[in-house]
């Protein structure tokens, strides 16, 4: 009996050791789940006995493969439909290829923006004055409107910059930059005009006197008198009396009216040769040939 008990204990120990070894192998096995384990997980412990047979395992494999093939076919059909729609849109044109909500939002925002006509007018005067050889007319109403706008915006700016709210401070900084930009353009426009006056003072006093503001007239008259005194005290007093003048017609320096410039046609015009030019066309022509069209605002000086 003792030998029988010892034999039974050895058998139990061997079974326990084999069971522990199987558990460790299962934990350390890096392989993916087999079909049997997938079947056990899918159907649960209640149907474990039914799936142990090869017939049930084969049936599960066939069912799984059919389900996967259906999913793959459906996915392929969806992709084929998307590809067909893509190429149809491509044939219709590049604008129909995809929906761009950002572009629609930008278009709506642009429609809501009110253009700053006053600043656009100043910018136009500024660019024309820079490229034009002669002094263009002074726009008094525009300057007065800008000075009033500067004063009103400066009051708003002072209130915003003293605020303790971050959003108001941000608006104040943006407003300050906008004011600085407009002031720079206005200042440079006036500077361009002063440069032309000082380059051709006697010509402008004789032929472009009406193109200046009252302050510009006063400045140019004082500048021309100071130049006469300087030239007479250094050079002219040593010459003959017939040569002691600076404002004789043959001595007055004039701008280059014969130079060629680039022009943008805004309205249909006809040049001196009888050739018509439609709106939107760029031309290269002399200033004198296009001066009349520029006065009528039919062309714009580019450079």
**pLDDT digit string, tens, across residues 219-233:** 999 999 998 888 888
Q: How far is CA 182 from the centre of its chain?
A: 20
The per-residue pLDDT for 195 is: 94
Q: How far apart are the first and last CA of the chain?
A: 122
Residues 6+ apart with CB under 8 A from 175: 153, 156, 157, 160
Residue 99 lies in a domain: yes
Q: Give pLDDT tens digits for 25-59.
A: 555 554 444 444 444 444 444 444 444 444 444 45
Confidence of residue 97 (pLDDT cuts 50, 70, 90): very low
Is there a single domain that holds both residue 55 and residue 90? yes
Residue 283 lies in a domain: yes
Domain final position from 59, 91, 113: 113
Is there a single domain that holds both residue 66 and residue 109? yes
Is there a single domain that holds both residue 262 and residue 293? yes
Domain final position from 113, 141, 171: 113
Domain that holds residue 24: 1-29
Is there a single domain that holds both residue 43 and residue 88? yes
Asked if 218 and 224 count as a contact pair (C-beta separation under 8 A), the reply is no
Residue 60 lies in a domain: yes
Domain final position from 93, 113, 133: 113
Q: Are strands 269-270 and 282-286 parallel, antiparallel or unpaired?
A: unpaired
Is there a single domain that holds both residue 70 and residue 42? yes
Residue 152 lies in a domain: no
Is there a single domain that holds both residue 20 and residue 36? no
Q: At what angle do helices 214-234 and 166-199 cross, to 10 degrees?
A: 40
Residue 240 lies in a domain: no
Is there a single domain that holds both residue 76 and residue 108? yes
Please report, for the domain that includes residue 290, its CATH number.
3.40.5.60
Residue 130 lies in a domain: no
Q: Give pLDDT tens digits for 10-23.
A: 667 766 666 565 55
Is there a single domain that holds both residue 13 and residue 62? no
Asked if 278 and 242 count as a contact pair (C-beta separation under 8 A), the reply is no
Asked if 174 and 182 count as a contact pair (C-beta separation under 8 A), the reply is no
Report residue 261 as tokens. 């410039």
The per-residue pLDDT for 260 is: 92
The per-residue pLDDT for 53 is: 47
Is there a single domain that holds both residue 8 and residue 75? no
Diameter over CA atoms, the chain: 159
Gap between the Cα atoms of 70 and 76, Å rounded? 10
The β-bridge partners of 262 are 284
C-alpha radius of gyration, the chain, whole number: 45
Report the number of distinct structural domains present in the chain. 3
Residue 96 lies in a domain: yes
Residue 173 lies in a domain: no
Instruction: For the chain, give the number of residues.
Output: 303
The pLDDT mean for the chain works out to 75
Gap between the Cα atoms of 25 and 29, Å rounded? 6
Is there a single domain that holds both residue 62 and residue 82? yes
The pLDDT of 267-277, averaged and rounded, is 87
Is there a single domain that holds both residue 11 and residue 68? no
């Amino acid at each position: 009996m003792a030998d029988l008990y010892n034999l039974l204990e050895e058998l139990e120990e061997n079974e326990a050791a084999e069971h522990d070894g199987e558990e460790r192998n299962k934990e350390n096995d890096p392989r993916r789940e087999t079909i049997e384990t997938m079947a056990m997980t899918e159907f649960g412990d209640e149907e474990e006995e039914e799936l142990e047979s090869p017939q049930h395992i084969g049936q599960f494999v066939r069912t799984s493969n059919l389900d996967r093939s259906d999913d793959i076919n459906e996915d392929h059909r969806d992709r084929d439909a998307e590809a067909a729609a893509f190429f149809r849109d491509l044939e219709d044109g590049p604008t129909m290829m995809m929906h761009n909500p950002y572009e629609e939002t930008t278009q709506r925002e642009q429609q809501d923006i009110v253009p700053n006509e006053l600043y656009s007018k100043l910018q136009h005067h500024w660019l024309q004055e820079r490229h034009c050889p002669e002094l263009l007319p002074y726009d008094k109403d525009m300057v007065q409107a800008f000075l009033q706008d500067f004063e009103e915006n400066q009051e708003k700016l002072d209130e915003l910059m003293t605020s303790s709210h971050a959003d108001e401070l941000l608006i104040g900084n943006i407003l300050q930059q906008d004011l600085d930009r407009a002031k720079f353009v206005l200042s440079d426009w006036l500077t361009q005009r002063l440069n032309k006056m000082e380059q051709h003072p006697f010509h402008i006093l004789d032929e472009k006197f009406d193109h200046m503001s009252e302050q510009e007239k006063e400045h140019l008259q004082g500048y021309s008198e100071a130049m006469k005194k300087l030239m007479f005290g250094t050079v002219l007093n040593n010459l003959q009396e017939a040569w002691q003048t600076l404002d004789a017609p043959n001595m007055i320096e004039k701008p280059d009216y014969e130079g060629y410039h680039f022009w943008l046609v805004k309205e249909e015009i006809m040049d001196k040769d009888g050739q018509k030019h439609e709106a939107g066309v760029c031309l290269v022509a002399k200033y004198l040939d296009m001066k009349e069209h520029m006065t009528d605002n039919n062309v714009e000086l580019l450079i």
